[in-house]
Amino acid sequence: MDPTLSTAALASLERMINSALSYDPGSQQKLRKLGSKTLQICCQGPTITTFVLIDDGQVQLRQHYEGQIDCQLKGSAMALANLGLSSQHSLANSGVQVFGSTGLLVDLQGIAKDLDIDWEEPLSQLLGDVAGPSLAGLVRKGISFWREREASVWQRSGEALSEELRATPHPYELEDFNQAVDQLRDDGERLAAKVGKLQHSLEAALNAAKQGNQPE
Amino acid sequence: MSEHKQEQETTHFGYETVDKGEKAGRVADVFHSVAAKYDLMNDLMSGGIHRLWKRYTIELSGVRAGQKVLDIAGGTGDLTLKFSRLVGPEGQVVLADINDSMLKVGRDKLIDKGVAGNVQVSQADAQFLPFADNTFDCITIAFGLRNVTDKDLALRSMLRVLKPGGRLLVLEFSKPGNPLLEKAYDAYSFAFLPTMGRLITNDADSYRYLAESIRMHPDQNTLKDMMSDAGFAACEYHNMTGGIVALHKGIKP
């Protein structure tokens, strides 16, 4: 990817995160308590590496960093996105590998989950002192309504799709299927390695036989 | 006088061939003319993209707290501003430019932004840097090398003042890789830029020089070879915006 595009994407995301933090002093304070920390996110398909630098309650996003890394995450784009969006702390079966301080990851997940933006200020700046607070109230109620029902909406939608409509497989079936695919991939790789080894031995034996048959 | 000797004593000023002694003065006139509106013109000409090119340069610099950085042709101080925050109070950044009008604008801008203490301003020629050997951890020259009369001499001068292991970053306009992009870029440079220069700074000639000097500047691989010839190791470049700009990096062995 052209560095201009990736730099633009990271600069925009960085600005968005820091703007959100500036309207949630609580989360910014929690971030400040973490001190100077660096998280490296290695996405393996597509291959993109991003460094998240946390310092003085601010977040910086970079493509290159040569300092010390506190925590490194490795996984596919889907697995990393799932980890970011889900509220569970466990990394089991998430498809994401973690190296270094898992405490930093848990802290960041907690801060992201508890992010509570005060919409009144940005909306008042944008729409004025009358419409801004009214719209902020609606946004606040909407977010609170969604948070209360988010878990049950996902659960009921999932049940309806897999059990009543039979449109998608049950999560357990999907998990079994994924494990079978992983097993097949591993078996394939082992078989390829064994074939390679046999081929190598065969070529060595043929070369030795040729050298033995040559007249002195 | 032999043809070779004549070649040695002349250089390019845009598409013109001028005496080597004349180029510095003519480049100085260009920058005296545009200094006051340099930042505004940069934003208008690049659509603000020059900030992304500079941000990427800062990332690749790997500059850390306590280090010494030289920002050659630093002009209005965009890179110096970022570096001064990265090196902190223990570090030092030198904003250098051959042109005093540009330096005055840069110095005033830095003071207005509250940057002081770890920044020094120096009027210096990139070909004859007035610093001791092995002084800096990092040197940057952004959109400045193409205006230097003797680029090889400047690269050797930069190598001298870098510490062993220090890195040079050259951010400069270069050659687009795609022929279609090159055509569009040519049309933009030779039609749009001088017109904009005339409207905003009442100076079309300076912006015509900008477009011409970009075309006369060595392409990516030539500049990489020049850096290697000057003595830099692990030279590499990163094309940006389809090669309109390239960031070259070299390490002092």
- The pLDDT tens digits of the residues spanning B209-229 come to 787 888 888 999 999 999 999
Looking at the predicted structure, is the pLDDT value of residue A116 above 80?
A: no
Mean pLDDT of chain B: 87
Q: What does the pLDDT look like over A153-203, one tens digit per residue?
A: 777 887 788 777 777 787 788 888 888 988 999 999 999 999 999 999 999
Mean pLDDT of A139-160: 78
Q: Is residue A105, in this structure, part of any structural domain at all?
A: yes
- As a whole number, mean pLDDT of residues A90-117 equals 82
pLDDT score of B232: 97
- Tell me, yes or no, whether A8 and A94 share the same domain: yes
Give B143 to chain A, closest Cα distance, Å. 16
Phi, psi (deg, nearest 5) at residue A2: -60, 130
Mean local confidence (pLDDT), B167-171: 96
Do A175 and A87 have their domain in common? no
What is d(CA A34, CA A53) in angstroms, rounded to the nearest whole number? 11
Report if residue A198 sits inside a domain: no
Q: What percent of chain B has pLDDT over 90?
A: 53
d(Cα A5, Cα B49) in Å, to the nearest integer?
10
CA A176 to chain centre: 22
Domain range spanning residue A32?
A: 3-116
Domain CATH code at residue A86: 3.30.1050.10
pLDDT attached to residue A201: 94
At residue B8 the predicted structure's pLDDT band, cuts being 50, 70 and 90, is low
| Domain's final residue, options A93, A116, A139 | A116
The reply to whether A179 falls in a domain is: yes
Domain boundary among A92, A116, A140: A116
Say yes or no: A141 and A102 in one domain.
no
- Tell whether A7 and A112 lie within a shared domain: yes
CB-based contact B239 A2, cutoff 8 Å: yes
Q: Looking at the 3D structure of chain A, how many domains does it have?
A: 2
Q: How far apart are CA B158 and CA B168, in angstroms?
A: 8
> What's the CA angle centered on A28, arms A22 and A31, to 5 degrees?
145
Co-location of A165 and A77 in the same domain: no
How far off is chain A from B183, nearest CA to CA, in Å? 19
* Contact (Cβ atoms closer than 8 angstroms) between residue B246 and residue B220: yes
In a domain, A24, yes or no: yes
Mean pLDDT, rounded, for B153-168? 96
Q: How confident is the model at residue B62 (pLDDT cuts 50, 70, 90)?
A: very high
Query: Residue A213 falls within a domain, yes or no?
Result: no
Is residue A42 domain-shared with residue A128, that is, in the same domain?
no
Which of A100, A116, A132 terminates a domain? The answer is A116
pLDDT at B1 over 50: no
Q: Are residues A27 and A97 in the same domain?
A: yes
List, for residues A59-95, the tens digit of each pLDDT value: 999 999 988 999 999 988 888 887 776 666 677 777 7
Q: Which residues of A touch B66 (CB under 8 A)?
A: none
* Residue linked to tokens 């065969």: A202
Tell which of B51, B57, B59 to mutate to test the A interface (max A CBs under 10 Å). B59
Q: Which is it for the CA torsion B78, B81, B87, B92, positive or negative?
A: positive
Q: Is residue A196 part of a domain?
A: no
A12/A68 same-domain check:
yes
Spell out the domains of chain B, with CATH numbers in brackets: 3-176+210-251 (3.40.50.150)
Q: Are A15 and A108 contained in the same domain?
A: yes
CA–CA gap between residue A67 and residue A143 (Å, rounded)? 38
Same domain, A129 and A99: no
Determine, yes or no, domain membership for A159: yes
pLDDT at B152 over 80: yes
Check A4 against B49: CB less than 8 A apart. Answer: yes
Chain B residue with minimal CA distance to A64?
A: B59
| Predicted local distance difference test score (pLDDT) of residue A89 | 63
Residue found under tokens 């925050």:
B85
Cα–Cα dist B93/B79, whole Å? 10
- Contact between chains at A65 and B55 (C-beta distance less than 8 A): no
Residues A107 and A166 in one domain: no
Q: Which two tokens stand for residue A38?
A: 């660096």
Is there a single domain that holds both residue A76 and residue A13?
yes
Structure tokens at A107: 């802290």
The reply to whether A7 falls in a domain is yes
Nearest C-alpha neighbor of B36 from the set B112, B132, B104:
B104
